[in-house]
Every structure is written in C-alpha cells, then in structure tokens.
Structure 1
C-alpha cells in the first residue's frame, strides 16, 4: 500500500515540479527580441512598431497561446498600406511579464490602455484582434468607442467556444483543474504544434516561438486564467453596442477552423448586422500567420468599401 501512496504522490508532484523549474522571463531572455519594452503599472510589456511614423495607427492584439509574432505578416502588410502598426505581447505570453491573478476583460483592457498612454497614442485608431484578442478588442471598442475608428476581427472569440468537456472541467474546477492543466496542456499543445509544422506560413519559425512559450514559468497558468476569465464571456451586448456606435467591423474566418465554431459567424451576424464577413477557404485557426496576404487583401477591400 505504501508504494501505491508514494507512486500517487510522485504522479501528483511531477507537473508541479516541472512548472516550478521552468525559467522566469528575465532581461537576458529579452535580449534577442525585436522591438522595445515598456515598464507599465502591472509589469513589463514587449511591443514593436512597424510602418511610417506619421501614418494612421493600427493596434494588433494576439490570441490565447501564440504571442505577438503571430501578427508579423499582417503587420508588415498594414505598414505597406501606410499604417503605423503596433503589436505587443499580452501579459503571460511572449516577452512580457507574467503577473498572477484573474485574466478578465479589465485585466487586458488596462494593459492596452497603459501601453497606449505610455506610447502617447491619444487619438482614435484601427483595432485588430485575433482569437482571444478578438474578445479583448471587442471589449475595448465597446468600452471606448470614441477611440476605435475600425474593428477588424480574425477568428474572434466571444461567440462561445467549441465544446470540450475536459477543458470546461479544468476551467470550472479550482485546484484539480489547475493540476490537470499543468499535466495535460503542455503535451497537448506540443502535439498541436507538431501537427501544424507542415502548414505553409508567412511568419518564419512561428512554431518554434509557440513551443518556446512552454519553457517559461507562469505561461500555462496564464492560459488557464484567460480561459476562466475573458474567454468565458459571451459578447452579445458588446457587439450590439459596437453596431450602435457605427464602428465599421470586418470579421475574417477560416472555413476549416476547429477552435472557433462555425456557429460564431451566425452569432456575430445576428448581433451586428452591419459587420462585414470574409471567409478564407482552406484556412484553419492560424489565420494571421498562414493566410497573411489574404487577410491584408480583405482589409484593403473593406477599407475601400467603408471609408
């Protein structure tokens, strides 16, 4: 019996020990990053500007698991269109700090507000959001409609997630859910990255950057905190408010997306009847790094149609 007890304790301890021994994100790790760093009230935020210094501003918000490098191809396309384009790493990802606590809409909105203030962005701008970043961008636009000239959403969350009983259990169950996340998410995430490695991309080494996230402490807990936080919100009222504020909206979807359910298109179309939709054939959930040129073309067409 004692051996079974010891074995059980070992099994329980392994994920905790692995997380404890992961590296902290420190200045030495940030030395290889392009862009710059801002000391914001809640932690260091990694950011990068692309495009002409005097161009209209576009701000890109990335998703749950892949940091801001996911935007590289789209950001360069926006820069070529004349936009001064800002990308940044959300807390818990990339080269930004990993503060603990809930990751709800106010957590992410405050980071964006603090960064805009730090960078002296005082006027209105075009706001882009990918996946979870779509939820963040939607909440920001609904809260500050005078700041957002145009909202562009790529495979956005906020219309309900694809059902997964295990993930739902982890999100709803403290302690046990936290342990399961530490034990199960890393190998699952690695398998997903491996399955996508043969997919053509416009962001070099994107899969390596995704995998590197697991090297750092607090990344896995951040993913779970977001799943419990902002990703638990259904943004019906926010999208209806955005329509009432006459903010132009373009939503771009992949017709083979297995993360955001197909029903999301219908939900957004119902909540905001003025939103424009573009569905990219053959695209999965990695839209900004697998179909960058098509996204930039869709943005150009949208802007031409809605000055």
Structure 2
C-alpha cells in the first residue's frame, strides 16, 4: 500500500503541470472581443494585428520576441509615427490574441505567418522590417529570403547568433516529453521572476510587467514558448546573415550593453559576417531595451529611417 501511495503521488506530480495547462482558458473570440486592432485568419489560425503611427507614409513592420506580444512596440511605434511611418505590429502565433497552433515553431513557421499577413494587408515591398530578440531572428530569416521587398532591416538585440536563456532553456531546446514537463513546471515561476526584476525600470509601455505575466493565464502560451526555444531561437542564422550581406540591403543592429540574454559578443559575430551592417550599443540597457530605452533605440534608428 505504501508503494502504491508513493506511485500515486509521483503520478500526480508528473501530471500536475499538464493538468494546470489544460485547465487554463483557451484564446477564443470571447476573450478577443475587447482586443485593440484587428484579426485575420491565416493558414495556421487567427492573427491579431494593429496599425499604429502615422496614417500615411512609408511602412515599418515590427516583429516581437519570444514572450512579449506586440504591445512591446507601443513606445517605438509612437516614435516611428512621429517620423511619418505607418507601423504594422502583430502577435506571433502562441502569443497575445493570436491562435496557438500545434507543431514546430521554426523559421518556416514564422516566415509563413509574416508572408501571409503582408499579403493580406497589401504590403508587397519597399518596407522596413524591424525585429526584436526572437523577432530579430524571424526578420533575418525573412530578409534572407526576400531582400528585394525591403528598404531596410533593423535588428534589436536579435537572436540567431547566440543567446543565454539559462539552463532550463538549454534542456528545453532538446525537445521531448521531459522538456515539455520541465517547461510547464519551471518556466512560469522563472518568467514571473524575470518580469518582476524589471518592475522598477522606466517603460514606454504602461503596466508592461503585468501585461507580460498575464500571458501565463492562457492555454498554449508556455508550450508555444517551448516550441520556439527548440525551433526558431535555436537556429543559427550565420548563413542568412551572409546572404543578406551579399545584397545592398541596409542593416542596422542595435544591442544593449547590459543584456544577459543576447550577449554583446553577437555584435562581433555580425561584424565578421556583414561588414556593411551598421551597429549601435545602448549603454545601461538590458534585454528590455525596446520599452526601457525606447528613446535611445529611436535615436539610433533615426538616420536610417529618414533615408
């Protein structure tokens, strides 16, 4: 009987993270009814998007990162709007108000979402693509495939040339059932702790810590992050950067001096691969520079965006 009881407890411990995930509310039209912006049904599900900034002018398309949906761009979008840009932001699958489809979340998965959204919005070319963190990796992969569509590529603390997401992410990147269990059981607490560490910092996105943590309430968010860690985030984009370097596409990379997630050594790697890429470092900034140091990021972008 003792062994049976121990086995039952062990089974419950193993099942608990999966049960908690299954009990979370799914992202449905009911939850979307008060969402800002609009929705479009693409091949893998609904995608939430917003147009911000100016009502006329050149287009900038912004791709967010691993865990923070498109609200991360609000400060940057306001600044780009003052420069005369129409700014398209959207939620990657698995985040924000977008659907949570199953399957791998690699470069092909995210490029297809972006391609279909651009087609739906009638954006055929001559736009600036801006990517932050994992969004920088997505933007890089897209630019390597479609350099002729872009007027410029802006990468803010981009993944794809090395990262340090911690020991949990290293195990999750290997995939498999154990990785899923570790992610569901360990990531929420780690994510909350990381968000809380930024609560005292200034932000161009009001209440961003609470907005970030709210993502944990909904079914599919944590599994999506896990799939992206083993997919998009783990891809080495050296070849893609090399392909971009062969084109005449202007590239600006912006890094954060105190970034512990995307190490500054990636800056040196990019310089070796693409010598024509312009690079800037934001002093005193960590990985959240898009919202903690929006003005500095915009200042670094200004010359390129005015060309």
Structures share fold, TM-score greater than 0.5: yes
Q: Distance in 1 between matches of 2:155 and 2:222?
A: 25
Partners of 1:55 and 1:113 in 2: CA distance: 21
Within 1, Cα distance between the matches of 2:231 and 2:15? 26
Write the deviation string for residues 235-290 of structure 1: whole angstroms up to 9, x where unpaired: 11111111111111111111010101121111111111111111111100011111
Structure 1 range deviating more: 28-37 or 135-144? 28-37
- The TM-score with structure 2 as length reference comes to 0.97
User: Aligned to 1:60, what secondary structure does the other structure show?
Assistant: strand
1:51 CA drift (Å): 2.7
1:42 aligns with 2:64: no
Distance 1:81 1:26 in 2: 36
CA spacing shift, 1:228–1:173, aligned 2, 3 Å = closer
Deviates more, 1:195-204 or 1:128-137: 195-204
Whether 2:203 is the aligned partner of 1:210: answer no
Partner of 1:133: 135
| Aligned ranges 1:75-224 → 2 under 5 Å | 75-162=77-164, 164-224=166-226
Cα-to-partner distance string for 1:77-103 (whole Å, 9 max, x where unaligned):
111100111000000000000101000
Instruction: Give 2:266's match in structure 1, choosing from 264, 267, 274.
Output: 264
Q: Which residue of 1 aligns with 2:15?
A: 13
2:168 and 2:182 in contact (8 A); partners too: no
Cα distance in 2 between the residues matched to 1:37 and 1:264 = 35
Q: 2: distance between equivalents of 1:251 and 1:283?
A: 15
State whether residues 285 and 293 of structure 2, in contact with CA within 8 Å, keep that contact through their aligned partners in structure 1: yes
Alignment correspondent of 2:25: 23
Give me the whole-angstrom Cα distance separating, in 2, the residues matched to 1:166 and 1:34. Answer: 34
- 3-state SS of 1:301 partner: helix
Deviates more, 1:84-93 or 1:28-37: 28-37
Cα pair 2:172 2:229 within 8 Å, conserved: no
Corresponding position of 1:242: 244
CA distance in 2, matches of 1:35, 1:173: 34
Asked whether the 8 Å contact 2:199–2:209 carries over to 1, the reply is yes
TM-score by length of 1: 0.97
Structure 1 residue 163: Cα displacement: 6.4
Deviation at 1:14, TM superposition (A): 1.1
Q: RMSD of the TM alignment (CA)?
A: 1.2
Summarize the Cα distance change of 1:14–1:221 in structure 2 as closer, same or farther, 3 Å threshold: same
Separation in 1, partners of 2:124, 2:210: 35
Q: What secondary structure is seen at the aligned counterpart in 1 of 2:173?
A: helix
CA distance in structure 1 between the aligned counterparts of 2:229 and 2:165, rounded to whole angstroms: 13
CA deviation vs aligned residue, 1:202-244 (integer Å, no higher than 9, x gap): 1001111111110111111100111111111111111111111
What is the deviation of 1:32?
Answer: 2.2
8 A Cα contact 2:173 2:231, kept in partner? no
Q: Larger deviation: 92-101 or 48-57?
A: 48-57
SS at match of 1:2: helix
1:55 alignment partner, one of 46, 54, 57: 57
What's the CA shift for 1:168?
1.4
Q: In the alignment, is the contact (CA less than 8 A) between 2:256 and 2:264 conserved in 1? A: no
- What SS class does the counterpart of residue 46 from structure 1 fall into? strand
